[in-house]
A and B are shown apart, each in its own frame.
Chain A
Amino acid sequence: MNRKQESPLTRAVVIFGIFFFIALLNMWNSGNLGFLLKNPKLQIFTIVITAILLEAIPFILIGAIISGTIEVFVSEEKIKMAFPQNRFLSAITGALLGILFPVCSCGNVVVARRLLKKGVPASGGLSYMLASPIINPITILSTFIAFSYSLRIVMGRILLAFISAVVASLILSTKNYVPLKECEEDHHIHHSHLSKVEQVFHHAESDFLLMGRYLVLGAFAAAIFQTFVSRQAFLSLAGNKVLSVFLMQILGILLSLCSFADAFVASSFVHLPAFSKIAFMVAGPMTNITVSILYAGTFKKSFVLKLILTLFITIFILGVIGTYITGGK
């Protein structure tokens, strides 16, 4: 780096150093920093962005450790043998794998990326990434509890998630290929002088730093929505059954809730048809802002757009069919 490039960077470091120093001073002084900091919108924004990160970062880290372990200890041959090579069967296997490995959507993208890099059939890796945040014991149990043990809602959610994940992964993996983004860090881990365990942590660190920044961006966008948009005003637009499925899908995308928790929020929309709530609980974990930005860190942009669009249309069609079959109840 020459001096011309270095100087703005140094200045930026100094400016941020000053900000950080002010922040530390504020931590020590027990008074308040004034009216601005007490602004309720700033408070909500800060609580929501920090809450999403504090909840998701441990799962990203767990996902990163699993991913590093797979990279170092599991050979490509073994991974390939675990999945059927037939595209359709592989998609089904992937969609059901979450029953054995219940990782929520943030941690899951890291693991799916590693599986795809290791040569898992594209349809299997994709359907695992999409379905496992929903089709896993923790999410199934929380949905049961949130909806007073309603088998109809739980089965509806599992079915909608399963079909959407399998359909989207089959459509998007026609040549058994998904365009993964090249990660610079992956090329910089030299293994010669490191023990296997150290290698696991180096891969985990690289995954955490890569996906973590996308997570921060996603949490930022979700917190903006939660701060400035009223859920009630949003849902008051849901005039008919079709519109209610559409709007609940959008709401699921914008709220960016964890799949372990979204059923409790969905159950509070008591007057909406069951399938619009199910669409909310499927579209959310598969396509919400936070997860979509994590996808953008994993795959090429055009692929992410296709993925989101395919999922959105599939979930919408299935949601509307479900609503009409159940008579909009």
Chain B
Amino acid sequence: MELLRTKNFYQALTIFIWLVFLFIVEATGKLQIYINKKFFPFTILGSFILLVLFIVKLRKIKKEHSEKIDIISFLSFLLFLFPVLLATIVRPGNLPVLAAGKRGISQEFTGGDVMAILKEQLEMEGNYKKMNIKQLLTFSKNKPEEINGKDVSVEGFVYKQNNEKQGFMLVRFLITCCAADATPLGVEIVYQNSEQLKQDEWVKVYGKCNIEGNRVVILADQVKKTQPPRDVYLY
């Protein structure tokens, strides 16, 4: 019981809680809600460093007499605990549509690489070329002739700003590092039956691509409801 009142105990517990938390988000695949896959190796490295720090801390607890916990150290422990508790209790899903509204949807994208997309073998779904919103916006910015008038299929979630009846915005979040920098990329969809679609619902749109000024507009032939893909974000 004496140990429970020492500073070393709470410091070791802080490290342990974060170690377990990192392990759980990595093992359950929840990590991709929060950060870009490119950064996964760093999180794994972080877990490894925490593990070593924890082992070294345990050795220290065995070897050294620790001073008793003071209020600052205890508050610091609670501070570290707070985000872990929050994430555990709230168990967030994907970024909700509200975030797209708050951040403002971009219908232009300058960071894409046309040549890389052209090298990719884009799949066909019947007569429709399967593309994502980032690819569409990259083409519309750099090589609009590649997509203008072409049949494409593209998926995303529905965003309706003013409950429009003749169409909606199809949106995906683009993530560079983590969800804090998620930028909503959107394509305007013209669709007669859009009142049947709900906000935030995942759909697949099949239709003809039109370039109007700098913007891509898809005249939808068909809109199918679908489940969110395994990778909900674009990278």
Interface residues of A (CB under 8 A from B): 1, 6, 9, 12-13, 16, 19-20, 22-24, 26-27, 33, 37, 40-44, 46-55, 57-59, 61-62, 64-65, 142, 145-148, 188, 190, 193, 198, 201-202, 204-205, 208-209, 212-213, 216-217, 219-220, 222-223, 226-227, 229-232, 235, 255-258, 260-265, 267-268, 270
Contact = CB atoms under 8 A, between A and B. Distances in A.
Contacts of B93: 43
A48 B182 CA distance: 10
| Interface of chain B, main secondary structure | helix
B210 interface: no
Contacts of A260: 176-177
Interface string B19-47: 00010010000010111000100110110
Contact of A204 (B49, B89, B98, B99): B49
Contacts of A227: 102
B78 A44 contact: no
Given A205-B57, A258-B177, A54 B35 contact: yes
Given A47-B34, A264-B183, A231 B102 contact: yes
A149 B33 CA distance: 29
Contacts of A193: 63
Interface string B108-151: 11110100000000000000000000000000011000000000
5 contacts: A23-B88, A40-B98, A54-B43, A55-B35, A205-B11
A53 B18 CA distance: 10
Interface stretch (B79-87, B163-171, B217-225): B79-87
B28 to A, nearest CB: 10
Chain A interface SS verdict (over half): helix
A265 B183 contact: yes
Interface in B173-197: 174, 176-181, 183
Given A12-B74, A49-B86, A222 B180 contact: yes
Contacts of A24: 88
Given A52-B178, A55-B34, A61-B46, A267 B88 contact: no
Q: How large is the interface on B (under 10, 10 to 19, 20 to 34, 35 or more residues)?
A: 35 or more
B96 A23 contact: no
B113 to A, nearest CB: 8
A26 B91 contact: yes
B68 interface: yes
Contact of B89 (A16, A37, A201): A37
Q: Which 9 A-B pairs have the closest CB atoms?
A: A58-B46, A261-B176, A261-B177, A232-B104, A51-B179, A51-B178, A51-B34, A40-B96, A55-B178
Contacts of A57: 18, 22, 46
B79 A216 contact: yes
Given A50-B34, A264-B174, A229 B76 contact: no
Contacts of B52: 201
Given A61-B46, A64-B49, A219-B83, 6 more contacts: A16-B78, A24-B88, A41-B98, A65-B49, A232-B102, A264-B174
